């Protein structure tokens, strides 16, 4: 886990793991002591393989793509709303989203490092993400009903053009990094509003968009939790 959160790829970690296991096997066969390795702190020993943190690889590369995906789901559908506007609370919402995502990585690391495969890790993760989800719904409510200060309200035409540009840009990015499911999910969320706005110029499908967004986020969290648990169990076996 320490190597994962230092940005190492899975194949690199597997190679280090196999090398370490071979070393233990050889030492045991020769009657040699491995206390110097076992008693060494994990972080200190990990410095031998990954002293520097790589933010452009491994889990951080995936996390960045995930952040782009969640931000796109949160912002782009709203651009196809005839009432789209950028307010001070809207900026607070984006800032909260980014900060909470970064904090979640540290929370996830703490839970996995301290509880690993115990129920505490699953319960803690579930409670944390439920809390964030409720905060997200609360921020959406504040944006709509208590915007604080209106900074910019584009015309319907401008809003549609910006939404299409952002949608196409994100779709291209997801295809380049081979996250096709993210591109498909974004298309499913945006399609009703795009078609309705282009056809009538009215706020069409906003309720469907919000319901779809909530269902996809819940589905994504469940899918990630189940797939992560299955993957971890297989690696453990």
DSSP output for 72-86: HHHHHHHHTSTT--E
Look-up: residue for tokens 């071979």?
A: 22
Question: Which candidate, 186, 161, 204, 179, places its Cα nearest to that of 72?
Answer: 186
- Residue 217 pLDDT: 62
Look at residue 126 in the predicted model and tell me its pLDDT: 80
Print pLDDT tens along the chain (237 aa): 777 777 777 777 788 788 888 877 887 788 777 777 777 777 777 777 666 666 556 677 788 888 898 888 888 888 877 778 899 999 999 999 899 988 988 888 888 777 766 677 778 878 888 888 888 888 888 988 888 888 988 887 888 889 889 999 999 999 998 888 888 888 887 777 766 665 555 554 455 455 555 655 666 666 566 655 665 555 555
CA distance 85 to 78: 9
Query: Is 216:188 a contact under the CB 8 Å cutoff?
Result: yes
Residue 205 confidence (pLDDT)? 47
Residues contacting 10, CB < 8 A, separation 6+: 58
- Residue 158 is predicted with a pLDDT of 87
Residue given tokens 């651009």 in the structure block? 79
d(CA 97, CA 124): 20
Q: How far apart are CA 194 and CA 191, in angstroms?
A: 5
Looking from the CA of 124 toward its CB, the CA atoms found within 13 Å total 17
| Distance between CA atoms of residues 53 and 58, nearest Å | 10
* Digit-coded pLDDT (tens) for 9-66: 777 778 878 888 887 788 778 877 777 777 777 777 777 766 666 655 667 778 888 8
Rounded Cα distance between 174 and 184, Å, is 9
Sign of CA dihedral 103, 105, 110, 116: positive
Which tokens is 49 given?
Answer: 């393989």
Per DSSP, 178 falls in state: T
Q: How many CB atoms lie within 10 A of CB 193?
A: 25
In this prediction the pTM is 0.69
Q: What is the pLDDT of residue 65?
A: 86
Strand, helix or coil for residue 189: helix
pLDDT recorded at residue 170:
92
Q: What is the DSSP string of 38-85?
A: HTS-HHHHHTTT--S--TTSHHHHHHHHHHHHHHHHHHHHHHTSTT--
Question: Looking at residue 116, what DSSP letter applies?
Answer: T
Site of tokens 């793991």 = 17
């Amino acid at each position: 886990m320490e190597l994962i959160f230092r940005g190492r790829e899975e194949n690199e970690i597997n190679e280090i793991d196999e090398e370490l296991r071979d070393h233990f096997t050889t030492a045991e066969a020769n009657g040699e002591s491995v206390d110097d390795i076992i008693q060494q702190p994990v972080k200190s020993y990990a410095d031998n393989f990954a002293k520097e943190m790589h933010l452009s690889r491994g889990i951080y590369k995936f996390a960045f793509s995930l952040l782009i995906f969640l931000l796109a789901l949160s912002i782009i559908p709203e651009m196809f709303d005839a009432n789209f506007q950028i307010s001070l609370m809207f900026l607070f919402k984006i800032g909260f989203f980014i900060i909470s995502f970064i904090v979640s990585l540290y929370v996830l690391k703490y839970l996995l490092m301290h509880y690993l495969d115990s129920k505490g890790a699953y319960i803690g993760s579930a409670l944390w993400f439920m809390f964030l989800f409720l905060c997200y719904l609360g921020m959406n409510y504040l944006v709509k009903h208590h915007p604080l200060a209106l900074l910019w309200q584009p015309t319907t035409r401008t809003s549609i053009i910006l939404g299409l540009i952002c949608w196409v840009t994100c779709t291209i990015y997801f295809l380049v990094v081979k996250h096709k499911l993210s591109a498909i999910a974004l298309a499913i969320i945006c399609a009703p509003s795009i078609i309705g706005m282009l056809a009538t110029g009215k706020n069409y499908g906003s309720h469907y968009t919000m319901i779809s967004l909530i269902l996809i986020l819940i589905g994504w969290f469940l899918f990630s939790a189940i797939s992560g648990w299955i993957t971890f169990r297989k690696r453990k076996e």
